[in-house]
Amino acid sequence: MQPQDLNMTTTVTGHQLFLFVTLGDGESDGKLAEAIDLLGQNMENVHDVDGPPSDEAFARGRFQLLRAESALTSEQQIIHPAVSESHGLIRLECATFEPIGEYESELRKLIEPFGSSVETLAGVMRPRSYTSHAMTQFAYAHAMPPGPGDKFPLAAVTPMNKTEAWWQMDFLHRESFFLPRYDENENMVVKGHALASAAGVPGINRRLVHAPEGYGLEGSYDFVGYFEFAEADAPVFREVMAGLRDTQQNPEWKYVLEGPEWWGRRVRTAKEFLTRG
């Protein structure tokens, strides 16, 4: 399904790659870490950046290295071991695809000789499709801006698909799931997506990408969510996920099939990235 057939925006504002790395048994020496650091030398390391990217950095490309927090990761409906069992993640973002596509192929060349492998999830950034001015004030105006790894050390990745029934729904019907629903006496009967997750607005930085080639297709997730937060806000993130998954509060999730909920810790250098926990 293409966005124009769904009344969703067709605009692309950027590209992201999530490179999930599974380390092999081959012993890597310090040279591999050096080579991975070199790969990112023309890009911005997001680890130490406070606030949203500058246009200049976004045009060059940006990267964040993360080490898996395997004990916090959980499989959901779509079993995907190359993600859930990975040892680390490199998240790339850029205004154009080429610089990060190049990074991906060079990374493969560097690490595959050591028996390591890369599983890539790709997505495009798009403006919001269902959000009014008023919802922007509620859900985004007070949202937490991105911050450095020392302030927000934890991250979670949530790949997911929506079901065929969702994509067959009329857009007004789909849009209604983001708002609360009321009975004939105007009593709220369900919270909907935005209210069910509202606790996350002040403390969880959130980003979302969409499937690059269209929705409901084999071989890509419809959406990949990416969230960064402080250690102290980890329980808030869990609460938000529980609220969204509660189909009594958020009937949208009846139409969601999730890939693994992957947790990681942001690290500055390739040396830390390659250290097994």
Residues that bind ligand HEM (CB under 6 A): 128-131, 135, 139, 158, 160, 162, 178, 193-194, 197-198, 200-201, 204, 206, 208, 223, 225, 240-241, 244
| Nearest residue relative to ligand HEM (C-beta) | 200
- State in angstroms the smallest separation of the CB of 38 from ligand HEM: 34
- State in angstroms the smallest separation of the CB of 31 from ligand HEM: 38
* CB atoms inside a 10 Å sphere around CB 190: 18
Nearest to ligand HEM of 35, 208 (CB atom)? 208
Show the beta-strand stretches assigned E in the chain.
Answer: 14-22, 44-45, 62-68, 88-94, 117-125, 154-162, 181-182, 188-190, 205-210, 223-229, 256-258, 262-267
- State in angstroms the smallest separation of the CB of 269 from ligand HEM: 29
Nearest to ligand HEM of 224, 267 (CB atom)? 224
- State in angstroms the smallest separation of the CB of 77 from ligand HEM: 13
Radius of gyration of the chain from Cα atoms? Answer: 19
From the list 63, 78, 67, 70, the residue with the least C-alpha distance to 18 is: 63
Nearest to ligand HEM of 22, 205 (CB atom)? 205
Nearest to ligand HEM of 191, 206 (CB atom)? 206
Cα separation, 273 vs 270, whole angstroms = 5
Nearest to ligand HEM of 28, 250 (CB atom)? 250
CB 14, CB 124: distance < 8 Å:
yes
